[in-house]
Amino acid sequence: MSTYVKLANTFKDDPELHDFWMGMARHEAAHVGALDLLAVMIEQAETTPRPPRIAAGAAAAAATIERLHEEADQPMTVARAFDLAVELESSEVEDLVFDLFAMLANPDERDQAEQMLVHDLSALSLMIEKHTDDDALLARADALVERHIDRREARKPASGTA
């Protein structure tokens, strides 16, 4: 969240980019709230659910987030800022949050949260296309969107039988 606020400040002279980065920060703030909610739900559960095995993924994501957070303190181009965002969003933090959320939350709530993620990632892809000429970066962002769409689709029950 604070990395995106740093990027908003870096691009404060461009209202569109500033607003975009603040929107990304709000998206991450929702994750913080979701994790707080999960902690309370686990605390109040009649039986403590067994959390998914996430230690390695969480450690790798934390290292990536920390490295990129420090880099966001430095001056950077718009293209590097978008590259940084794609790397952050690829760190599988959302996957960890959704795996935890799936243990305790209603499937419709999880689906809605994932739909919002796809929306935010699609906005990132559009901003990359609009503000850079980096086809490889755009392809990475589009692949990230597709990965989350495919994951949502894979969980939906098959409609009807042949």
Residue spans per domain, the chain: 2-155
Give the orientation angle of helix 78-89 with respect to helix 135-155, to 10 degrees: 20
For the question of whether the overall pTM of this predicted structure is more than 0.85, the answer is no
Contact 1, 22 (CB under 8 A): no
* pLDDT tens digits for range 73-126: 999 999 999 999 999 888 766 666 666 666 666 677 777 777 888 888 999 999
The DSSP annotation for 142-161 comes to HHHHHHHHHHHHHHSPP-S-
Q: Is the dihedral of CA 23, 133, 152, 88 positive or negative?
A: negative
